[in-house]
Structure 1
Amino acid sequence: MNQNFDIIIVGGGAAGFFTAINIVEKNPKLKVAILERGNEVLSKVRISGGGRCNVTHACFEPNELVKFYPRGEKELRGPFHQFCSGDTVEWFSNHGVELKIEDDGRMFPVSNSSQTIIDCFIEATQKLKITVLTGQSLKSIFKKENFWKIETQSNNFTAEKIILATGSNPKIWEMVQTLGHTIVTPVPSLFTFNIKDSRIKELPGVSAQVSVKVKDTKLTSTGPLLITHWGMSGPAILKLSAWGARILSEKKYQFTIFINWLNDLDAEDSEKILKNLKQEHAKKMVSKKSPFEITNRLWESLVLASGISAETKWADLSKVQMQNLVNQLTNSSFQVNGKSTFKEEFVTAGGIDLKEINFKTMESKLHKNLYFAGEIVNIDAITGGFNFQNAWTSGFILASNL
């Protein structure tokens, strides 16, 4: 059976729904369908942000917002000047969903439930009479005269315009390659580091504000680091994994990191502080109380790792021990052996080469009436609502320029 539409959107996720709704709001006469391969739509929205849906981030300045995108920074500057995080807040408010800002800048629905976003999208598609079809796994896409033809397991479709919003789907990338597009090989982004080290073995749950760098690269990061049962996580590590997605993949996830547990205090300044303590607290034990903004447990672990026993007093610190302690505090070396990814929050670096897309319209430069929205293209961001913002922006731009 052949079904005919003006526009078909492949992918029933955040980008697909947002694009469809914006298209029909601007062009009510268009006949639009969303095809989803799974049995339910918006499944990634449901589990995102721990089931709360991290809709966007409270960074309202386009030139600042682009800095959160390891891939796509240059290309998104123009689009963000048209539809930025503030526009997202307004759009959802106009559709009955109020958002709130958390301390770290992430924005969630006031309801604290991703179901609110799902309900908003489903209600809008029903009101606008957008056809939503599930269980439609694609077999082929091809151009026939002025129309696109799509074959799924159960149906044939024709449409004047096709929008691919399928996220990181290797099967669709293969189809897009047969249309002549280049796919930048996908590699994982946003992962934690697997580290076995006696210094952190007993410290899961301890966090610190740090700066981290990867040995023999230019990769650096600052922010909160969380010690876990398997190694290290937290924003400082996740940022490093996003910006270093390609480099760390080439290293097969075997590399050395250096951590400054005192964040912005360098070796020289920390040594001065330690020498003052040696004089002022001569009779006190070094390991007992952290003189810096790190927990006592972490301090004690680094003291012991410096070859200083638990009973050693400040007055008895040797020059070598002092030097070891400075080094452990400001330049601790850790060996990373592998990575752990969060399955539900999985983000991929890779996708359709950005040079082959017109970012004023989100249309393919190779094929007229073929468009892309969301993570199918080689754009990805660090954690915090930025990947969703790319979905909203690309969907809005596309809908405004059909």
Structure 2
Amino acid sequence: MVLGGGAAGFFGAIACAEANPAARVLLVEKTGKLLSKVRVSGGGRCNVTHACFSAAQLVQHYPRGGKKLKEPFQQFGAQDTVHWFAQRGVALKTEADGRMFPTTDSSETIAQALLDAARQAGVHILLNTTAEQFIPLPEGGFQVQLTGVHAQTLTAQRLLVATGGVPKTEGYNWLRQLGHTIAEPVPSLFTFNVPESPLKELMGVSVPHARVVIAGEKLDYEGPLLITHWGVSGPAVLKLSAWGARRLHELSYTGTALVNWIPTYNEETLRQWLHTFRDENGKKVVLVNPLFGLPQRLWRALVEQAGIGADVRWSELPAKPQNRLIELLLRMPLAVRGKTTFKEEFVTCGGVVLSEVNMKTMESRLVPGLHFAGEVLDIDGITGGFNFQAAWTTGYLAGQAMSR
């Protein structure tokens, strides 16, 4: 029996049913919807995995769980995911940043492939049904009490828990009662709210390469940055939020984010560059001639905040406003006051600690026959298809082991 109709649950159910056609595989989903995260991922395109085909490289994209995933990824990695979908008629393409999507650019392609594979493998699906409790039996297996549309009591030889990440710690109490230790759940992959942002008018402006640092913390990340009406987003912020999920939670999502808009420069190299530029371009008006490939609107905002007048030429620029401009280019302070979930892709860090799980089979070391897959485990990746890859891998290994 599989609990959870998401990516990990489906992959586990299919893997089990395909490996052992004689097994009766039942998938139980508490809502009326299947694969809901798959459908909304990547803006409805579904970021299936990442073009990272070495297990040693792949594990570097997981703020939590990376080290323990090396062996599982050697068993079923990103290349295996590509092959799995290709075998079922779904071709994937790689974008410039390494993210992989179906060539149709539709998440429905992925959802349908999983639904078809489950149906062909003979997986039975119960919707609007909840496993209220399950009791390990002395002779092995579990007695499972189902409530909802398909209320009944069943016996299951093996059980796969693929119920996803739970935002509130109480959601894991049933696993604690079985003796499992839970790493406290906190949000990951979120954007920063900056209510007093000096950049509010620049909503939609993006910079392909910026560096975001949390002042006073060992937290920083480089990547594309997007200015939003509520603050800042984009891969640089999302990935920083993933690596710093626990610390940012401790800080109550408040602090100062320092943005370096031109991270290839430091104070010394920037001053040298500007000195040469001024000598050669003294007649140019500062405000209307953006430098470093920065968007016009962003450059104007930085120049205005530095207190540089609309008609000031580089040759006339006093030292004080130039220093202020340098400071804004390298360390623009944004007062972070809270977070916003990125689109609908809610990710939690936390869950069942991995030391209590056999990572070859995803079986509990405490309760024989109980397996885990996906976000219920203390595993989470940065944005870019890594969370789905962890779901496919852990689901596949659990399903294979259950079939035996």
* TM-score, length of structure 1 as denominator length: 0.95
Hey, what does 1:162 align to over in structure 2? 159
Q: Quick check: 1:147 aligned with 2:141?
A: yes
Distance 2:262 2:196 in 1: 19
Please, which of 60, 63, 71 is the counterpart of residue 64 of structure 2? 71
1:134-166: CA deviation from partner (whole Å, max 9, x where unpaired): 111121121121221111211111111111000
Hey, what does 1:5 align to over in structure 2? none
Hey, what does 1:252 align to over in structure 2? 252
Report the alpha carbon displacement of residue 295 of structure 1 after superposing the two structures with TM: 1.4
Report the alpha carbon displacement of residue 17 of structure 1 after superposing the two structures with TM: 0.9
Q: Is the 8 A contact 2:11 2:399 kept in 1?
A: no
Report the alpha carbon displacement of residue 197 of structure 1 after superposing the two structures with TM: 4.3
Report the alpha carbon displacement of residue 199 of structure 1 after superposing the two structures with TM: 3.4
Hey, what does 1:328 align to over in structure 2? 328
Hey, what does 2:74 align to over in structure 1? 81
Secondary structure at the aligned position of 2:202 is classed as: coil
Hey, what does 2:21 align to over in structure 1? 28
Q: Is the 8 A contact 2:136 2:143 kept in 1?
A: yes
Distance 2:50 2:85 in 1: 14
Please, which of 37, 47, 54 is the counterpart of residue 47 of structure 2? 54
Q: Is the 8 A contact 2:2 2:28 kept in 1?
A: yes
Hey, what does 1:317 align to over in structure 2? 317
Report the alpha carbon displacement of residue 314 of structure 1 after superposing the two structures with TM: 1.3
1:85-137: CA deviation from partner (whole Å, max 9, x where unpaired): 01100011112211111222111112222222222222222222221111111
Secondary structure at the aligned position of 1:120 is classed as: helix
Distance 2:344 2:202 in 1: 26
Secondary structure at the aligned position of 1:202 is classed as: helix
Hey, what does 2:374 align to over in structure 1? 374
Q: Is the alpha carbon distance of 1:198 and 1:309 closer, same or farther for their aligned partners in structure 2, counting shifts above 3 Å?
A: farther
Distance 2:335 2:66 in 1: 30
1:349-396: CA deviation from partner (whole Å, max 9, x where unpaired): 111111111111101111111000111101111111111100111112
Distance 1:157 1:342 in 2: 39
Report the alpha carbon displacement of residue 196 of structure 1 after superposing the two structures with TM: 3.4
Report which stretch shifted further, 119-128 or 219-228.
Answer: 119-128
Secondary structure at the aligned position of 1:320 is classed as: helix
Hey, what does 1:188 align to over in structure 2? 187
Report which stretch shifted further, 353-362 or 233-242.
Answer: 353-362
Report the alpha carbon displacement of residue 281 of structure 1 after superposing the two structures with TM: 2.1
Report the alpha carbon displacement of residue 172 of structure 1 after superposing the two structures with TM: 5.2
Distance 2:296 2:354 in 1: 48
Please, which of 96, 99, 109 is the counterpart of residue 103 of structure 1? 96
* Structure 1 stretches lacking a partner, 5+ long: 1-7
Distance 1:238 1:211 in 2: 12
Q: Which amino acid in structure 2 is aligned with residue 160 of structure 1?
A: Q
Q: Is the alpha carbon distance of 1:174 and 1:102 closer, same or farther for their aligned partners in structure 2, counting shifts above 3 Å?
A: same
Report which stretch shifted further, 99-108 or 219-228.
Answer: 99-108
Distance 2:305 2:272 in 1: 20
Aligned ranges 1:269-308 → 2 under 5 Å: 269-308=269-308
Q: Is the 8 A contact 2:197 2:231 kept in 1?
A: no
Q: Is the 8 A contact 1:166 1:172 kept in 2?
A: no
Q: How many pairs align?
A: 395
Distance 1:211 1:34 in 2: 44
Distance 1:60 1:180 in 2: 36
Report the alpha carbon displacement of residue 343 of structure 1 after superposing the two structures with TM: 5.4
Q: Is the alpha carbon distance of 1:163 and 1:316 closer, same or farther for their aligned partners in structure 2, counting shifts above 3 Å?
A: same
Q: Quick check: 1:204 aligned with 2:198?
A: no
Distance 1:211 1:50 in 2: 25
Report which stretch shifted further, 38-47 or 157-166.
Answer: 38-47
* Structure 2 stretches lacking a partner, 5+ long: none
Q: Is the 8 A contact 1:36 1:134 kept in 2?
A: yes
Q: Is the 8 A contact 1:375 1:391 kept in 2?
A: yes
Q: Is the 8 A contact 1:168 1:348 kept in 2?
A: yes
Q: Which amino acid in structure 2 is aligned with residue 303 of structure 1?
A: V
Hey, what does 1:45 align to over in structure 2? 38
Secondary structure at the aligned position of 1:218 is classed as: coil
1:321-366: CA deviation from partner (whole Å, max 9, x where unpaired): 2221111111112111111113521111111111111111101111
Q: Is the alpha carbon distance of 1:199 and 1:273 closer, same or farther for their aligned partners in structure 2, counting shifts above 3 Å?
A: farther
Fraction of identical pairs, as percent: 47
Secondary structure at the aligned position of 2:273 is classed as: helix
Aligned ranges 1:88-127 → 2 under 5 Å: 88-127=81-120
Hey, what does 1:4 align to over in structure 2? none
Secondary structure at the aligned position of 2:211 is classed as: strand
Q: Is the 8 A contact 1:221 1:237 kept in 2?
A: yes
Hey, what does 2:364 align to over in structure 1? 364
